[in-house]
Homo-oligomer: A and B are copies of this chain.
């Protein structure tokens, strides 16, 4: 099963914005996905913490890959909700998403985002969202 990871890693690398952020897919299996980002200075906000937009990006994309692990590659994130819990500091950001429910055309997933500081993981955000299968015209998202 583990050989799903290399192909999924490559999909991530075809996203220019994921390359810009420096994201890597570090786990991918049916029902779960993990995205890891090295926290570089350019990912910060004015107080030195990781920018919320980076945390959102990580949650959004981890949710999408988790959904894709059960729905296949033709998918998109329909919606999600995120709660920020603590400022994210440290060297690495990890977003772990799991599939809570999978139907034929959509999956509902949850994601926990951790910042890693001195080897310790701190939960800094939690998200929940819907991934839908597409097979439709490109100008209509539903």
Contacts and interface: CB of A to CB of B under 8 A. Distances in A.
Interface string A5-37: 000000100111111110000000000000000
A77 interface: yes
B18 A130 contact: no
Given A52-B77, A83-B128, A43 B16 contact: yes
Given A83-B78, A126-B110, A53 B57 contact: yes
Nearest to A132: B142
Contact of A53 (B21, B78, B130, B141): B21
A130 B79 contact: yes
A128 B81 contact: yes
A43 B64 CA distance: 17
Contact of A139 (B77, B87, B108): B87
A45 interface: yes
Interface of A: 11, 14-21, 41-47, 51-54, 56-57, 60-61, 64, 76-87, 100-101, 103-106, 108, 110, 123, 126-128, 130, 138-142
9 contacts: A16-B51, A21-B53, A52-B61, A53-B61, A78-B106, A79-B79, A86-B139, A108-B126, A127-B128
